[in-house]
Amino acid sequence: VLIISDITERQRYEHTIRHMAYHDFLTGLPNRLLINDRMAIALPQAKRTQTMLAIIYLDLDNFKQINDTLGHIIGDRLLQEVAIRLQSQVRAGDTIARIGGDEFMFLFPGLSQARDAFQIADKILNSFSSPFNIEQKDILVTASFGISLFPVHGQNAETLVRNADDSLYRAKKLGRNNYQVYAPAVPPLLLDRSNLGKDPQRSSDKEAVGLTSWRKAYVFDEWETSGL
């Protein structure tokens, strides 16, 4: 009986250590190590099945300001609530990871078309439209994120993550609270803000929509010509 008990305790301890190594302590979400492991499995599978795979790199807007004004305890609670809400937007086979600070990464395997990724992205963006209630405070926070797709935007995890991060950076530059799909080049007309009106905020909003639409069209064209 003692031997069985010792084995059970050791197994429980090893499971706890393994879980801690692959999960974020604050939110309980997978961490960077675990999502990297799952990408290493998902990419060869996507190649075999000739399906799409999406990576989303998300960052909360102005999170530092929330921490500075409301305190780190509220900030941590907000991250926990954001994690819960984001989990409700994904499928059972998807992965959402907290990879540091207010940054999250999503892995969406087994997509049949690019439009599937954009529908998921719209759901994620819309999930931030209602405030988070934390200690009787309504906190409205938005998010910006970038999307890259296998096989259109890269053949390996490193390239896909880098391109999603690059698209996140563009989303931030375009006024935040939007998402951008990766594309290697942008037509000069879309970068000319003088054609978008005099109001800077409205110009930024229009440019974000214009770039997102153009990048989506680029993905559709590349997907069709890839033969998959």
Catalytic residues: 102
- With beta carbons less than 8 A apart as the criterion, state whether 117 and 148 touch: no
Indicate the pairing of strand 179-181 with strand 143-150: parallel
Q: Are 177 and 144 in contact, with CB atoms under 8 Å apart?
A: yes
- Classify residue 13 as exposed, middle or buried by CB count within 10 Å of its CB (0-12, 13-18, 19+): exposed
Residues 141, 144, 150, 152, CA torsion sign = positive
Q: Nearest to residue 93, comparing CAs of 106, 80, 83, 84?
A: 106
Taking each helix axis as running N to C, give the angle between helix 157-173 and helix 200-225, from 0 to 180 degrees, rounded to the nearest 10.
Answer: 150
- Asked if residue 200 has a cis previous peptide bond (ω within 30° of 0), the answer is no
Across-strand partners of 143? 60
